[in-house]
Structure 1
Amino acid sequence: MEESQKILIVDDEKDLCEILQFNLESEGFSIDIAHSGEEALDKPIEDFDLILLDIMMGGISGFKTANIIRKDRGFQVPIIFLTAKGEENDVLTGFNVGADDYISKPFSIKEVVARIKAILKRGKKKADEKTNIVYKELIVNQKQKEIFLDGQNISLTRKEFEILLLLMKNMDQYISRDEILKRIWDDDVIVTERNVDVNIARLRKKIGAYATNIKGKSGYGYCFKDKN
């Protein structure tokens, strides 16, 4: 049986969330809910197939939330904005921060379902292609959390895997030790930049010829460099 596609609903109107959840689950989708942008960003964004995102919320706005998902974290999950506003400027802002679609409130549930199915169908092939991040003979499978080097599965710890994934998704861009700590060790209490250096050293040993692609630069952090 095919696994249900996962949708994250982000809206501070709890009644609306419940209505959307009931109807979308009736269509066979798996639903999770966040009532703020901050709550949404604490969830594993990479696990969702689509996000329904309200623009006007308490705390950070839907625009800011989408910008963090797209630019800061590098996730390309489809986003549909939900908003009571219908002004042209809001529509343009939404698309500028990476919206795939835009639905003004009030809306019909049938319209929402139709838009969701259209975007998921359109994006399925594209999403499948992004399951793997590939650099020559080094392959990172994001869904299965596996690394292949010259066709052989290599064993990494969870931290090593997440560091390599982060660096390869941001190829040729330096990421500071502090930023790596925030993204990879956010669940730990006491860590230092030395933790990053130790894991980088172990990671380099495990990825063989590609160890030299991981560059460190004082004051800038680490980067996975394309040496072509």
Structure 2
Amino acid sequence: MNAKTPEAKLLVVDDEPNILELLATSLRFAGFEVVTAANGRDALLKAEAEEPDLAVLDVMLPDIDGFSVTRKLRAAGRHFPILFLTAKDDTDDKVAGLTVGGDDYVTKPFSLDEVVARIRAVLRRTQPLEEEDSRLKVDDLVLDDDAHEVFRGNREIDLSPTEFKLLRYLMLNPNRVLSKAQILDHVWEYDFNGDASIVESYISYLRRKIDNDPEQPSLIHTKRGVGYLLRSSDKRH
């Protein structure tokens, strides 16, 4: 029998040997190539050497916590998506993980089917879409899908994969109000168990990065009770 091409290469990081082995074995069975690490330092080394497509990263690690690992990865220019494993069903903990550049989270104890589903959803939503023109432009905001770069004027803006996908959806629909349900459907591809607060959090993150210069007009706007829009200058009154 010919071996199948792996669906993606995953870096799985957990300090509990049983969980690490269970995850690695199950994800390989699901069709992924898997490399593993048992602590934060090893995770950083493996990320550099292996160049994974996605990391499954435990938050509570013995040396460097998962949030700090993520900050170091992003600072080093490594923008592959990250799925956090968290032992706490704590909204603040989850939001903290998304703030530092994570893309999704699964709470322990978790089902293996859920982990696989979340990984595939994150990979789908963070892959560049093929199109004739990979550049989107609204006023002085430019998004390059191929290079995975965003500029506001001459300022480069560093975005996580999910922030990038959200901004891309807003830029594909300039001056159109998008509801939280529409954003969840197009950016996350499932409903986070109805948790629309994730949209508010990500809109807030984008605003801090896109609209943080008082010399430039704000582009991201809220229509209370309706949704959000990216409004170009020619639509302002």
TM-score, structure 2 normalization: 0.52
The code of the aligned residue for 2:51 comes to D
* 2:70 alignment partner in structure 1: 66
2:105 aligned partner = 102
Specify the alignment match of 1:49 in structure 2.
Answer: 53
Asked if the contact 2:6–2:31 (Cα under 8 Å) also holds between the matched residues in 1, the reply is no
Distance 2:110 2:147 in 1: 38
Where do 5+ consecutive residues of structure 1 fail to align? 136-169, 172-228
Distance 1:117 1:133, change over 3 A: closer
Any residues of structure 2 matched to 1:35-184 within 5 Å, and which? 35-45=38-48, 47-70=51-74, 72-125=75-128, 133=147
In structure 2, the partner of 1:167 is: none
* 1:123 alignment partner AA: T
Give me the whole-angstrom Cα distance separating, in 1, the residues matched to 2:47 and 2:118: 23
User: Do the aligned partners of 2:128 and 2:145 also contact (CA within 8 Å) in 1?
Assistant: no
- Structure 2's unaligned 5+ residue stretches are 135-143, 150-154, 157-237
**1:68-114 per-position Cα deviation (integer Å, ceiling 9, x unaligned):** 011x2011100000011111211111011011001100000000000
**Number of residue-to-residue matches in the alignment:** 137
What percent identity do the matched residue pairs reach? 40
Measured against aligned partners, the alpha-carbon deviations of 1:153-190 in whole angstroms (never above 9, x if no partner) come to xxxxxxxxxxxxxxxxx97xxxxxxxxxxxxxxxxxxx
CA-CA distance at 1:43 after TM superposition: 1.6
Amino acid at match of 1:10: V
Instruction: Give the whole-Å Cα distance in 2 for the aligned partners of 1:17 and 1:126.
Output: 32
Aligned twin of 2:15: 12
Q: CA deviation at 1:44?
A: 3.7
| Structure-1-length-normalised TM-score | 0.54
Tell me: CA distance 1:124–1:134, structure 2 relative to 1, closer, same or farther (3 Å): closer
- The CA deviation at 1:131 is 9.8
1:4 CA displacement: 4.0
**What residue number does 1:206 align with?**
none
Larger of the two Rg values belongs to structure: 1
Supply the distance in 2 between the matched residues of 1:56 and 1:88 (Cα, whole angstroms). 16
Q: Which amino acid aligns with 2:66?
A: G
Distance 1:88 1:120, change over 3 A: same
RMSD over aligned CA atoms reads 2.9
